[in-house]
Every structure is written in structure tokens, then in C-alpha cells.
Amino acid sequence: MISRILAVSAVLGLFVSMPLAAVGPAPAAKTADAAPAAAVPAAAPAAAADAPASRQYTFAWQFVEGGELAPRGGTTRGTPITLDTEASEGWRSLQEPGIDAFERDRRAILAMTGGYRASFDFIEVAGFTPGFKPSRPYQSWGTEKVVVLEDRGTFISLQHMLVMSIIGKDGKMMGPFVTKHWRQDWQYEPTHVFRYRGAQTWEREAVDPAAAKGAWSQSVYQVDDSPRYADVARWQHAKGYSAWESPEGWRPLPRREYSVRSDYQVLAGTNRHVIVPTGWVHEQFNHKVALASAGTPRTEEPILAREYGFNRYERIRDYDFAPADAYLKATDPMWKLVRAEWAALLGADKPVVLRAAPDQGQLFMPLFKLASEIEEGKGPKPRVLEKTVRKEVEGYLLKDGETPSTAPAKY
């Protein structure tokens, strides 16, 4: 069990900011003049002799000398993968003529399921304060499976699962490390969504019926099913193209930011999901906002910078995601209870205020420890499990007289 908890922390740590070395599954063969190329299929040819000696990134600050803006991010190398270059069944089903808009929307959402090599790229592209200096770009990766937790027609829940096998410094494989990652819930014509207000506070908000008609809400949750953000928009479809783009909304700082930044408190962002023949992409357009208090941007220079994020989910084949399936099967009764507890809290009229960011404050650790016990067959009986889950989720909540913690994360 201890090894499982350490593995969870280690895998989540792949997304912590740190100097970037060779990253990603299946590096290409080295030549005398080239460092390992990143994230290529197992059958890739050797790197060219004139290949760059460092990771590639774009939207670069071209005239900044030296390595101060070299990307930061995870530093691990993964085992070989094979990209699936054929158009997926999900994408092909989207192209079927004659289906109604609701069914086409559903197929777009379900097309995000499957096994992927995921890459994560973020860079500040503009600053709005005197003397602005951009932060280092961020890059990381993962091998990730997206599965359907629930499909009730007008409601679809997708769970992301990381299954990471790492090549150690000695060349030996470590893993697989299995980690429950983020979750996205899709609700057709929602009546309410939760909104982030800053200071670890979320509130329930009614959706205008006109805005909800024909639209879907996307609600995004942390690894422990605690909330992140939610928005409402309509899917847009054309031949070969399906996309959903949210309006701007607030969300708490992710791990990649709060681990290195303390000068702002909220990302005011939009996100766009686009289905492509061999997977999907997740684009983010974020403003970094400093608050005076919960819900209120400061008067002077509230927006520090604009950030662009591009997360690419490339479908892979012949990769063993069975450990993720086994984990979900074993722990499903517990996580169902956890989701129900959060749904009850977020569905009430009272704001939900947490003691700290769930992973920054290590609030998620008791739940992951409990999941490990259940996976090993040592968990409590159903009636005791329900009480235990309720107690652990209530432990996230801020008590009267307390102030949410903003202490820097420690790893």
C-alpha cells in the first residue's frame, strides 16, 4: 500500500515544474550530435544528424539568449509506444450523414475515449505589467486511457487514467504506475453548473435556459473528484471537424503553476476540445489573474499574463492499459461514493470552501490510501466504507474561523 501511495505521488510529480531533460515515451536512437528525440513511436527511424540538441517548442521568445526560457516539466522517459495512424472508429462515426445534432454531439464526446500518448505544452505569450519577464514554458507527457464511467444519454462521464512505465537511469523499466487522473462530465442542457470564485471556493450557479438549449456543460474534476471548473457551450460540427469551446471562466491554479508561482491566484480561461482523426486536442487560453479577495480581481494590474496551452492526445495501439481497468474495477464502489459526496456538496446552495488546494495541501492522500487498501482487499465493509468516505471528503472543507491555505506545495 505504501508503494502505491508513493507511486501516486511520483506519477503526479511528473507534472511538477523542474528542469526538463529527455521526456516522453520511446526516444529515437541517438547520434553523435543529437540528444534523444521526444515522444516518437517505437518504430521511428534514428534521429537525423542535424537534429536539435534540446526539446523543441514553439511560440518561443526568439530573442531571449541562453537557456532561461528552456521548457520545464517532467524529466522521465517512457517505454516504446506505437501510434495508431488510422482514423479512429469514433471519428469515422462523427462523419455519418443524417444523424441529428444531439447524437453527433454525443459521438464527439465519446470519441475522446481510448488509449493515448498525451503531451502537455504551456507558454506565456504576452505580459501586461511593466518589466514583465515570461515564465519558462512547460512541457510534460503521459500515457493515458480515457474510459466511460457512465453514459445515461444526456449525461456522459469520462475518467482519465495514467498508466506510466518509466525507463530508469540504469536503463531498466519501472512500473507500470497507475494513477487516477482528471475527470470530465458532460451534461446536455444543464440547469446549473459550479463556478470557481477564488480562495478555494465554488458556488452553484443557474444556467440561463436560452444558453442551455442545445448546449452541453463540461465539468472538470481533480484526481480525487474534487471540483476544478465548469462551463456551458455548444458543439460545432462541419465535415471532418467537431469542436466545443467554452466561454471564459475561472479555475484554480494547476500543479504546474502553484508549485512555482505565488503572485496570482486564478486562471481566467477558455478551453477548446477538437476531435481529430487520430485522437483529439485540448487547447487552453488563460489569463493569469491576481485577486484582491475571493471573487474580486485587484484594482491595479489584475491580469499579469496570457498563457496558451496545447494538449495533444494521440491514439496509440498495443499498449497495456489493463492495470487501469483492474484498478477501476477494484475501487469503483469507493469512487462512486466519493463522486456522490462531491455532487451533494456542489448541488447545494451553500458555497463549497476547501481548506487548501486538494493536491497542494495533500488533502487527496487519505482517499488514495483508502483506494489502495480496497485494491489490496483490505478495505472496510460497505456500510463502514460509506461513513469513511463521507468523513474524508468532509475533511477537505474549511471550518468556521479557518482561512484557506496558500502555502507553497512541498514535494
Predicted pLDDT at 11: 54
**E-strand spans in 207-265?**
216-221, 227-233, 235-238, 241-245, 249-251
Predicted pLDDT at 360: 72
Helix orientation angle between 322-347 and 365-375, rounded to the nearest 10 degrees: 130
CA–CA distance, 98 with 197 (Å, rounded to integer): 42
CA-angle at 272, arms to 198 and 140, nearest 5°: 80
Cis before 176? omega within 30? yes
Mean pLDDT, all residues of the chain: 86
DSSP 397: B
Grid cell 463549497 — which residue? 352
Predicted pLDDT at 56: 58
Burial class (CB in 10 A: 0-12, 13-18, 19+), 380: middle
* Distant-in-sequence, close-in-space partners of 16: CB < 8 Å, separation ≥ 6: 74, 255, 256, 259, 409, 411
* Distant-in-sequence, close-in-space partners of 329: CB < 8 Å, separation ≥ 6: none
**pLDDT tens-digit profile, the chain (411 residues):** 545 554 555 455 544 333 333 345 543 333 333 333 334 333 333 334 444 455 555 667 777 777 778 888 776 788 889 999 999 999 999 999 999 999 999 999 999 999 999 999 999 999 999 999 999 999 999 999 999 999 999 999 999 999 999 888 888 899 899 999 999 999 999 999 999 999 999 999 999 999 999 999 999 999 999 999 999 999 999 999 999 999 999 999 998 898 888 999 999 999 999 999 999 999 999 999 999 988 899 999 999 999 999 999 999 999 999 999 999 999 999 999 999 999 999 999 999 999 988 877 788 999 999 999 999 999 999 899 999 999 999 999 998 877 766 554 332
CA-angle at 225, arms to 210 and 236, nearest 5°: 35
Residue 237, C-alpha cell as written in the block: 460540427
**Cβ atoms < 10 Å from Cβ of 47:** 19
- pLDDT tens profile 254-302: 988 988 889 999 999 999 999 999 999 999 999 999 999 888 999 999 9
Spans of all domains in the chain: 2-321
Looking only at the bridges linking them, the beta strands covering 72-73 and 303-317 are unpaired
Looking only at the bridges linking them, the beta strands covering 138-151 and 72-73 are parallel
Contact 24, 143 (CB under 8 A): no
* Distant-in-sequence, close-in-space partners of 146: CB < 8 Å, separation ≥ 6: 112, 113, 114, 116, 158, 159, 160, 161, 313
Residue 404, C-alpha cell as written in the block: 484557506
Instruction: Give the global pTM.
Output: 0.86
CA–CA distance, 235 with 87 (Å, rounded to integer): 20
- pLDDT tens profile 348-382: 999 999 998 887 778 899 999 999 999 999 999 98
What backbone phi and psi angles, to 5 degrees, belong to 302? -70, -30
What backbone phi and psi angles, to 5 degrees, belong to 399? -90, 160
By residue count, the chain amounts to 411
* Distant-in-sequence, close-in-space partners of 406: CB < 8 Å, separation ≥ 6: 262, 265, 356
Could you tell me where the DSSP H helices lie in 26-88?
Answer: none
Is the C-alpha dihedral spanning 10, 16, 20, 24 positive or negative?
Answer: positive
